[in-house]
Amino acid sequence: MTVRALVDGTVTAANIFSTSPAIPQNHLVVLEDPEHNFLAGNIVPLVNSQKKSDHLKDVLDAVSARLTTLGLADLNASVSGNSGVDPDEAARKWVHDNGFDHPISQ
């Protein structure tokens, strides 16, 4: 509804997630927020404390360094709508494209 209002001109600005596939699909412009009025929504890995290890932290840090807002938006766009690919397939492609389809040395 918010994106539709932007596209049809009902509103001139709206608060949507920066990873929304609607941004590139509708050629929307992301505005700067120099006053930090809108909080950033960051992806945070959750791990069972029994599985926690230094190696797992290293792997998650490496993935986090590669998973940019633009990359996440691309992933969201690739799985959206009727023609979207299977999320597992999109994730496997991202893992392969970013070099995580082999063990990360300890």
Q: Is residue 85 part of a domain?
A: yes
pLDDT in tens, 61-82: 999 999 988 888 888 888 987 7
Q: Is residue 12 part of a domain?
A: yes
Q: 55 with 93: CB under 8 angstroms?
A: no
Question: What does the pLDDT read at residue 101?
Answer: 84
Q: Is residue 43 part of a domain?
A: yes
Structural domain of 64? 2-97
Q: Is residue 102 part of a domain?
A: no
Our count of domains for the chain comes to: 1
Closest listed residue to residue 78, CA positions, set 3, 31, 27, 24: 24
CA dihedral 13, 17, 22, 23 (to 10 degrees): 60
Q: Is residue 18 part of a domain?
A: yes
Question: What does the pLDDT read at residue 84?
Answer: 81
pLDDT mean values, one per 10 residues, the chain (106 residues): 92 90 89 87 86 92 89 87 87 92 72
Q: Is residue 103 part of a domain?
A: no
Question: What does the pLDDT read at residue 105?
Answer: 66
